Amino acid sequence: MTSPLLYVCDLDDTLLGRDKRISKVNLDAVLKIQRSGVPFTIATGRSHLQIREYVSQLEIKIPVITCNGGVISTPKDEKILNVSYICPEIAKKITAFCEENKMDYLMYTARNICYTRESVRITGYFKYNENLTNPEFLVPLKCMDDVTDEDYNEAIKILVLGDYEMLDYIKQEFNKEGKLTIVSSGKGLVDIMAESTGKGDAVKNLAQILGVPLERVVVFGDSPNDLSMFEVAGTSIAVGNAVDEIKSAATYTTLPNYEDGVAEALGKLFGKV
């Protein structure tokens, strides 16, 4: 296994524990490898607006990948370096369909996380904002009642919750022309993005920006939306709680996220812990 020049890690159910926090063991491991001179960054389905606290804790200094590859942005000032927007008319049809069928969904735009008044999914973000002691980490939220055409023009991802039959219908109904990328980011969760959007393409773009050969990139993940970056990186590491599809594609399977699998792999494979 060649010596890594870049680490790229999924957040939820990979680096984060069951409490959605970074454990001290994982945090110490990541900080140590960065201080050894090898950069570390995030590739997540979350919006760049939802990861500010993690970026700060991890002391990330290179661009981050968010919205499943829909956005590459700088970690501090959140300058967007690359973005893929959903066609506004398609985004409007999808959100209208979700509302007609009383499906919980969120729309991620360049500036806000947009939600319906009935959304259960958004309650966690309200609680997060309420408990913040540092306003710099605030997640900007906007009710769909107040969404304008400008918001739809900046729609990057629509996250839909529901049963699999209904989600399959969305795939068939709204992606007949192949203008969308639709992947699962967890049980009962489907991420809808613009065509040719994925973590794999974003990892390739980031590696090119940094001048790092793909064979010297190490990626970590657990869910189907991580598969595309497993296919392009030189080394891919699945956490022990990953779905079978990811484990089969991985170079190595480490401990589960709730047992500090990222730190275990960094120490065992690269001797950086």
Residue with tokens 């942005």: 73
pLDDT digits (tens, 9 = 90+) for 192-242: 999 988 999 999 999 999 999 999 999 999 999 999 999 999 999 999 999
| Res 176: pLDDT | 81
Domains of the chain: 6-83+198-270 (3.40.50.1000), 88-194 (3.30.1240.10)
- Within 10 angstroms of residue 225's Cβ, the number of other Cβ atoms is 26
pLDDT digits (tens, 9 = 90+) for 147-191: 999 999 999 999 998 766 766 787 788 888 888 988 877 778 888
Please name which of 233, 266, 264 lies closest in space to residue 251, comparing C-alpha atoms.
Answer: 233
Between CA 93 and CA 28 the distance in angstroms is 45
Mean pLDDT of the chain: 93
- Here the tokens at position 27 are 């945090």
Kindly tell me if the per-residue pLDDT of 273 is higher than 60.
Answer: no
pTM: 0.93
Q: Which amino acid is at 167?
A: L
pLDDT digits (tens, 9 = 90+) for 129-140: 999 999 999 999
Q: Pick the range with the lowest mean pLDDT from 156-160, 190-194, 251-255, 264-268.
A: 190-194
Q: How many residues are given for the chain? A: 273
Residue partners of 118: CB distance under 8 A and separation at least 6: 102, 104
Question: Rounded to the nearest 10 degrees, how much is the dihedral formed by the CA atoms of 167, 188, 55, 227?
Answer: -70
